[in-house]
Amino acid sequence: MHLTKREREIVALLRREPTIKPSAIAERIGSSTAAVNVHLSNLSRKGVVLGRGYLLSDAPGVVVVGGTNVDVKARSAAPATPGTSNPGSASMRPGGVGRNIAENLARLGTRTHLVSVVGRDPLGETVMSQTAAAGVRLEHVLRTDEPTGTYTAVLDSDGELVVAVSAMTATERLGPEHVSEARDLIAASGMVIADGNLRLDTLQHTLNLAAAAGARAVLEPVSVPKARALAPALAADRPLYAVTPNRAELGALTGLPTDTDSEVLQAAASLHDRGVELVWVRLGDRGSLLSGADAEPVTIPAIPTEVDDVTGAGDAALAAFCHALLAGEEPASAVRFGHAAAALTVASTDTVRTDLTERLVRSALPALT
């Protein structure tokens, strides 16, 4: 991360006196209060200063680059009948893969910045306020005249997804130039997570910035069509720490069959050959397969739980996985932590559990295994 000489002077003062006022800083360094406020704002944007009291960050944070939208969920009261109206219930909440991952991370206690885009409309205002309240930093969320994206899901009476429609045109406004504005944050981060809602050029630029900064980059493919479109971003000359597809998305990323376990392993090996260190393949109720470039693959069983709503399970799992990795856990242990977070999430009606904490997830591990 690059800090100017003046910023380094201010950081040195803050380390000695965390509650010092901007006017006092200005007097000490021979500047104006207005200029100091600008420097403090830049230090906040770079992730060096956290909130009031000028708390300085020592732990590496995460930058999430991806989609933000509103989730509209309709659930049938009885097993859904195609082609007709089904009685049921509906709800509307903040969503989006990138945004959901960011909120889960923030609730787990990881310092998290979101790079995304929402509309200048009432839905956008609601998403921004509720996401900020969860602890996610939003300085790099772009506001656009496009309507805020929506994800409409129809769930069966057992909580399983019947069909979903994603309207994410606003995310198309997120280009490489906007991600570049978060370059300093990425340079200071311990991890960069990109979701498959990004344009190919935006994803490639994000991965390039992460590689240049030495930050671990994680790609969540999101869906089969998006995985297929983003496959060219996986290049052997640019290391990628982890890719987290399901079986079908793995096939779309590699162009290889993934119907059998041996085919899944072969497809994962092809991603290792293209510079991916970890391939974490979701296998539904069977759990998941973790394949490492320099380690034997391991299958990790799912944690049994009552399913109320499957929406958001993958986002919670990925966030918890990354949170545990940043805490220094081994990848297999981090996967188990992710499984616990997913089990807790599907057992609730929330896409992101508002009571999610690291303590809750860790307490769930022995209780649910």
Q: pLDDT tens for residues 207-258? A: 999 998 888 999 999 999 999 999 999 987 788 999 999 999 999 999 999 9
User: What pLDDT is stored for residue 126 in this prediction?
Assistant: 94
Q: Which amino acid is at 245?
A: P
Return the closest-CA partner of residue 164 out of 176, 150, 178.
150
Residue 293, burial from CB neighbour count under 10 angstroms (0-12, 13-18, 19+): middle
- Using the CB atoms, write b or e for 5-37: b if 16+ within 10 Å: eebebbbebbeeeeeeebeebbeeeebeeeebe
pLDDT for residue 314: 94
CA count, 13 A, side-chain hemisphere, 120: 5
Is 102:108 a contact under the CB 8 Å cutoff? no
Which pLDDT score is estimated for 51? 58
Domain at 5-56, CATH class = mainly alpha
Q: Please give the pLDDT value at position 236.
A: 73
Per-residue pLDDT tens digits of the chain, which is 369 residues long? 456 778 878 877 876 677 788 899 999 999 999 999 898 888 777 666 765 555 555 566 899 999 999 989 899 999 999 999 999 999 898 999 999 999 999 999 999 999 999 999 999 999 999 999 999 999 999 999 999 999 898 999 988 889 988 888 888 999 999 999 998 888 888 899 999 999 999 999 999 999 988 889 999 999 999 999 999 999 877 889 999 999 999 999 999 999 999 999 999 999 999 999 999 999 988 899 999 998 899 999 989 888 887 888 999 999 999 999 998 999 999 999 999 999 999 998 888 999 999 999 998 886 444
Q: Which residues of 38-58 are buried (b: 16+ CB within 10 A; e: fewer)?
A: ebbebbbbbbbbbeeebeeee
Pairing, β 191-195 against β 112-119: unpaired
Domain range annotation of the chain: 5-56, 62-368
Give the pLDDT confidence score for residue 3 in this predicted structure: 61
- Distance from C-alpha of 21 to C-alpha of 305, rounded to nearest angstrom: 51
**CATH code matching the domain that covers 62-368, chosen among 3.30.70.1730, 1.25.10.10, 3.30.460.10, 3.40.1190.20:** 3.40.1190.20
Coil, strand or helix: which one is 137?
strand
**Tokens read off for 116:** 């995304």
- Taking CB atoms within 8 Å and a gap of at least 24, the contacts of 274-278 are 274/234, 274/235, 274/236, 275/234, 275/235, 275/236, 275/237, 275/238, 275/239, 275/240, 276/234, 276/240, 276/241, 276/242, 276/243, 277/239, 277/240, 277/241, 277/242, 278/241, 278/242, 278/243, 278/331
> Using CA atoms, how far apart are residues 268 and 210, in angstroms rounded to an integer?
22
Distance, in Å, from the CA atom of 200 to the CA atom of 212, rounded to the nearest integer, reads 18
Contact, 301 vs 90, CB < 8 A? no
Distance (Å, whole) CA 82 – CA 47:
49
pTM, to two decimals: 0.81
Q: What is the pLDDT of residue 292?
A: 95
pLDDT attached to residue 168: 82
